[in-house]
């Protein structure tokens, strides 16, 4: 049986997910699409053989030939699509962030808990990347001892001028580093500080780069560099420093070329190239879980906790002071 998927939001990543559902992954197909920009939805529908174009999310979610919903609209529109999909009992893949405010995340959690089962997977795809998985397995094995520090570097070659704001360096970009910090250190963030470096002139008036320090509840630290106009490519790095050793992500280029007394390798152009296999794996796992009527991977709880840290980080960036992170009690649906 093929999982029939309705896609809400057919921009850059929505189209990339339509491509992988249509041409890469088994047992799934796109049967419906919608976008506030109708022309974009129509061109996305043309990428796949059987997709109808809808004017809005509600009728797409209600459609009989839509078994599950993939949300790739911009962050502020995620909640208005998730709530009716939960109401309809349809499994959901939602791109990060789950929602852009903590209140919206809590409304989503309440609605999912009311269904009595997990229906939402959030698109924090780094957990499906081979290098991050190996780093996590090394930490969990105990081989390097208790982790004390995690250093994360998140560099984008460039971001769209006029559309990407200083706050997005936290709410759209650093959210991935918050996710992997919580996941690798198996802990929640207690407090965060954010400092801006001398601005990169290529970013015009953006606050870029920024440097964040997160204190975990158990006392470990996570540091994050976010640079969004680094120019040379898309560069993602991570290193755990632990009591008995250290472990870091390897370089992602498959070959090293040596010539004329120099060596060189490829730096990925953007997130699509660097994480292509991770996106394939996260959607493949979602298709399997959604076909059974459920969800796996990063949960609505993760989405809420990450938005809570991102809110505190924005406060810290704007005041220059450390900001505390307070979470509600975790519902039993999301484990301990």
**Residue ranges in contact with ligand ISE by CB under 6 A:** 156, 172-173, 176, 271
Residue 120 main-chain phi, psi, to 5 deg: -115, 130
Give CA–CA dist 278/189, Å, rounded. Answer: 25
13 in contact with ligand NAI (CB under 6 A): yes
Minimal distance, residue 241 CB to ligand NAI, in Å: 26
Residue corresponding to tokens 């969800």 = 295
302 in contact with ligand NAI (CB under 6 A): no
User: Which residues lie below 8 Å from residue 254, measured CB to CB, with a gap of 6+?
Assistant: none
Residue corresponding to tokens 């008036």 = 205
E strand or H helix at 18: helix 12-19
Instruction: Tell me the per-residue interface mask from 78 to 117 with ligand NAI, x by CB under 6 A, - otherwise.
Output: -----------------xx---------------------
Q: Which two tokens stand for residue 281?
A: 């794996």
CB atoms within 10 A of CB 137: 11
| C-alpha 143, offset from chain centre | 28
225 in contact with ligand NAI (CB under 6 A): no
CB atoms within 10 A of CB 145: 12
Smaller CB separation from ligand NAD, 73 or 138: 73
73 in contact with ligand NAD (CB under 6 A): yes
Instruction: Tell me which of 45, 68, 69, 75 binds ligand NAI, using CB under 6 A.
Output: 75
The CB-side HSE value for 256 (13 A sphere, CA atoms) comes to 7
Residues 164-193 within binding reach of ligand NAI (CB under 6 A): 172
125 in contact with ligand NAD (CB under 6 A): yes
125 in contact with ligand NAI (CB under 6 A): yes
Instruction: Tell me which of 6, 75, 147, 298 binds ligand NAD, using CB under 6 A.
Output: 75
Instruction: Tell me which of 14, 91, 203, 298 binds ligand NAI, using CB under 6 A.
Output: 14
Of the candidates 89, 118, 166, the residue with the CA atom closest to the CA atom of residue 298: 118
* Interface residues toward ligand NAI, by CB under 6 A: 8-14, 34-37, 40, 57, 72-75, 77, 95-96, 123, 125, 172, 271
């Amino acid at each position: 049986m093929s999982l029939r998927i309705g896609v809400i939001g057919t921009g850059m990543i929505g189209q990339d997910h339509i491509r992988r559902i249509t041409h890469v992954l088994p047992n799934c197909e796109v049967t419906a699409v919608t976008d506030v920009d109708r022309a974009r939805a129509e061109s996305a529908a043309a990428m796949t053989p059987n997709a109808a174009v809808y004017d809005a999310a509600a009728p797409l979610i209600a459609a009989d030939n839509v078994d599950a919903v993939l949300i790739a609209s911009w962050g502020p529109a995620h909640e208005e699509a998730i709530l009716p999909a939960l109401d309809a009992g349809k499994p959901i893949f939602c791109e990060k962030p789950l929602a852009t405010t903590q209140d919206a995340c809590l409304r989503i959690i309440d609605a999912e808990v009311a269904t009595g089962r997990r229906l939402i997977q959030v698109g924090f795809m780094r957990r499906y990347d081979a290098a991050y998985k190996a780093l996590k397995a090394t930490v969990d094995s105990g081989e390097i001892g208790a982790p004390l520090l995690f250093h994360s570097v998140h560099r984008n070659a460039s971001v769209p001028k006029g559309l990407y704001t200083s706050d997005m360096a936290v709410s759209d970009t650093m959210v991935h580093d918050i996710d992997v910090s919580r996941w690798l250190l198996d802990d929640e963030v207690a407090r965060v500080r954010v400092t801006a470096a001398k601005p990169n002139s290529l970013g015009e008036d953006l606050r870029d780069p920024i440097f964040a320090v997160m204190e975990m509840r158990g006392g470990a630290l996570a540091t994050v560099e976010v640079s969004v106009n680094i120019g040379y490519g898309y560069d993602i790095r991570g290193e755990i420093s632990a009591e008995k050793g250290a472990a870091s992500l390897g370089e992602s280029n498959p070959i090293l070329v040596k010539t004329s007394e120099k060596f060189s390798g490829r730096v990925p152009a953007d997130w699509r190239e660097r994480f292509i296999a991770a996106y394939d794996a996260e959607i493949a796992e979602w298709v399997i879980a959604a076909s059974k009527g459920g969800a796996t991977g990063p949960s609505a709880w993760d989405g809420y906790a990450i938005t809570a840290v991102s809110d505190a980080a924005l406060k810290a960036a704007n005041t220059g002071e450390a900001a505390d992170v307070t979470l509600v009690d975790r519902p039993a649906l999301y484990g301990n």
